[in-house]
Structure 1
Amino acid sequence: MSITFKKTYRFAVKSALYVTLFSTAFVGLLISIFFKAGNQELIRFCMIFAFCVAIFSFFVLQYRVERFIYRRVKKIYDDVSLLESSSFRKQPITTDMATLTRQVKKFATDKKLEIETLKIREEYRREFLGNVSHELKTPLFTVQGYLLTLLDGAMNDKTIRKKYLQRAEKGVERLIYIVQDLDMITKLEVGDLNLMTTKFDIVEVVQNVFDLLEMKASEKNIMLMFDMKYIKAIEVFGDREKIQQVVMNLMVNSIKYGKEDGTTEVSIEDLVNNKVIVRVMDNGEGIEKQHIPRLFERFYRVDKSGARSEGGSGLGLAIVKHIIEAHDEKIYVESKVNVGSEFSFTLEKAK
């Protein structure tokens, strides 16, 4: 921390002026009473006396007050510096009360914001750990239950043994799925997942996802379709594999929360600035407004019991958000309860 400090002379000048006026008037009065001096000599004496007293008073007051204030202000700076505020510690020490007040007020405001942010992060951390624990606990207990049953004698029955091993395998698969998603989102958040940007046809990618999810959609009799027939290819720039995962995750959610005999529709539209927007729309149950700001948080579920019965890691939308942001693009969501939801994201269009 610099030990130079801003000087303020207003206090010293005013104080020296008051001392000078009083001293000069008092001495002048004494001289006129006890030494019968002429007016000219008296005026000349008073002017010289006033000048000397003013200069002496100013320097004494300035020095003493600055040293007095500086010692106390420096203690404030030293105490504050213990809080590891690098921006505050770089400030030169000032004895100007207005400047000091502004600096301390700014420091207090920054600390208050920092404390509030830490509280929010702590709450998020507790919620995140609780969610991770719950997500991992369910398949682990499932696997453990089937294995313990087999060890207790059920393994002697070939039919039960095969059925329970298959169910245990599904539990392990869900664990692997959760761990893989956690690994991916961690890499995305720290920027450790490199994107392989190429030019590709987004229509073809969406059609591939349609083919992969056809059987899943048929279980609820949900129709997967484009909003129109795309005859020509629509080429965009991005990581084809990651963008396909984005479309896959959005459509899986659409099917998961879609109503029986419903639809999941995809549209691709041109935007300004050489962009396209991909929309994934459904006519499902919709999302209440208060849930929308938190949809892209890890493990956040609108309907916790219903969502877990449908399976999944609870990380799909968080992964979608990070992939789109890694492309420097935007993702949007609009939804109305009992009407449906629309998730959309932008991509750079190839020239």
Structure 2
Amino acid sequence: MLTNSRGISLILAFAISALVAAFLSLMPDTNLTILVVAWGLSFSVSYLLITITLEFLVFREIGNIYSLLEKIQKKDLFEISDKSIKSSSLSPLRKINSVINSYALARQKEIETLQKTAEFRKEFIADISHELKTPIFSAQGYIHTLLDGAIEDKQVRLKFLKRAAKSLDSLDVLVQDLLTLNQMESGVIKFIFTEFDLKLLIEEVIEELEHKASKRKIKIDFTFDHEKNYITKADHQKIYRVCQNLIYNAVKYNHDGGEVKVSLKASKTNIQVDIKDDGHGIPPDDLKRIFERFYRVEKSRNKKEGGTGLGLAIVKHILEGHQSKISVSSTVGKGSMFSFSLPLIKDKKTLERELAESKSLTP
């Protein structure tokens, strides 16, 4: 009976009404009727007030706290709501409940983060094991074949050594990309910002990749406004790598006889680079993950065509280091377009022309 609000309210109401009646009995001119009425009123009012106070300010909040603690004990954190954190009340127990709830929600988010990290670690270990296995096993197979006697044949020896060297070169590229990505994420690699002509940089990249594109009869078309300036301030080496990776991918994942369109668009403050191909395209579900480490849209085809699976992840981190973002749009069967922007540095000629134009417009 004493474990609920009504039992406690009944006892306290009896005690209060008895004290009131006892106090009134000491006064002169107090008769039995007055005592009974005073006792009844004090009992009723005391019972109602104490019941409401205990029920809503104490027992209900204690029940909520017990319910919350049971969920925490059962690790059923997904049923915990943040409504109690937003609610305000004068009850100290409500505040305690709110603190416990906020603590539980914080632990829930921490657990979710740890679970995602653990899942990412598992995927990363599986991916890197798979990526390392191929060149290692390939080089190992050629070397063991030579050791088993094929080394005596000069032609076989030279061919197998070249293949083993190619596999080890691929392994070296993979390790270097991993180191580069890790150093970028940890902030070890510093960016060296200098002013250079972005148009000339892209022309160098296209010249480097034209031979590879011509083998598959893929045309690389570079368009820009000859009257405009394309001077930017960035890390030349890293932006070269960004353009190299994106244009190389546009060639690599294009169909034979396809076309890659590279365009520069200069606005008042920025230079936008668009790299478009008319190749295979990327499915919508894969667009969200193409910048993850080792993520491949078509694992079998990509594996055949080579690559470390880290290029786009490195591109993303390089551009983030330049306070820029890489964006992508794609339609399956029609191709993809990657875009990013860099700040525009106006040269003396451009500034003089703009000044002259502004003066001509001034009445």
State TM-score, norm by structure 1.
0.76
CA deviation map 1:238-291 (0-9, x unaligned): 10110000000111111111111011111111346x122111110000000000
2:296 aligned residue: 301
What displacement does 1:334 show?
A: 0.3
2:119 aligned residue: 123
Distance 1:27 1:110, change over 3 A: closer
8 Å Cα contact 1:202-1:233 kept in structure 2: no
Distance 1:25 1:101, change over 3 A: closer
**Structure 1 stretch displaced more, 107-116 or 278-287:** 107-116
Give the unaligned 5+ runs of structure 2.
1-7, 47-57, 73-89, 347-363
RMSD: 3.5
8 Å Cα contact 1:140-1:171 kept in structure 2: yes
Name the count of aligned residue pairs: 302
Code of the residue aligned with 2:109 in structure 1: it is L
2:18 aligned residue: 26
1:269 aligned residue: 265
Which of 299, 304, 318 lines up with 1:323 in the alignment? 318
Code of the residue aligned with 2:281 in structure 1: it is G
CA deviation map 1:226-247 (0-9, x unaligned): 1346455410111011000000
1:254 aligned residue: 250
DSSP 3-state at the match of 1:225: strand
Q: State how far apart, in whole Å, the 2-side matches of 1:196 and 1:237 are.
A: 10
DSSP 3-state at the match of 2:103: helix
Code of the residue aligned with 1:26 in structure 2: it is A
Which of 309, 331, 349 lines up with 1:314 in the alignment? 309
Give the unaligned 5+ runs of structure 1.
1-15, 55-65, 81-93
8 Å Cα contact 1:31-1:37 kept in structure 2: no
2:176 is aligned with 1:185 = no
Which of 142, 149, 152 lines up with 2:145 in the alignment? 149
- What percent of counterpart residues are identical? 37
2:198 is aligned with 1:202 = yes
Code of the residue aligned with 2:308 in structure 1: it is S
**Structure 1 stretch displaced more, 195-204 or 95-104:** 95-104
1:5 aligned residue: none
CA deviation map 1:66-117 (0-9, x unaligned): 9xx9xxx9xx99xx9xxxxxxxxxxxxx981111111111121222122112
1:280 aligned residue: 275
Q: State how far apart, in whole Å, the 2-side matches of 1:139 and 1:249 are.
A: 21
**Structure 1 stretch displaced more, 113-122 or 184-193:** 113-122
Code of the residue aligned with 1:292 in structure 2: it is L
CA deviation map 1:190-227 (0-9, x unaligned): 01100000111110110000011111111211111213
1:346 aligned residue: 341
Code of the residue aligned with 1:204 in structure 2: it is L
CA deviation map 1:5-41 (0-9, x unaligned): xxxxxxxxxxx999887545424545767x683349x
Q: State how far apart, in whole Å, the 2-side matches of 1:347 and 1:36 are.
A: 93
2:284 aligned residue: 289
Q: State how far apart, in whole Å, the 2-side matches of 1:19 and 1:348 are.
A: 78
1:337 aligned residue: 332
Distance 1:20 1:115, change over 3 A: closer
1:37 aligned residue: 28
State TM-score, norm by structure 2.
0.74
Distance 1:156 1:20, change over 3 A: closer
- Considering Cα pairs closer than 8 Å and 6+ residues apart, tell me whether 1 or 2 has the greater RCO: 1
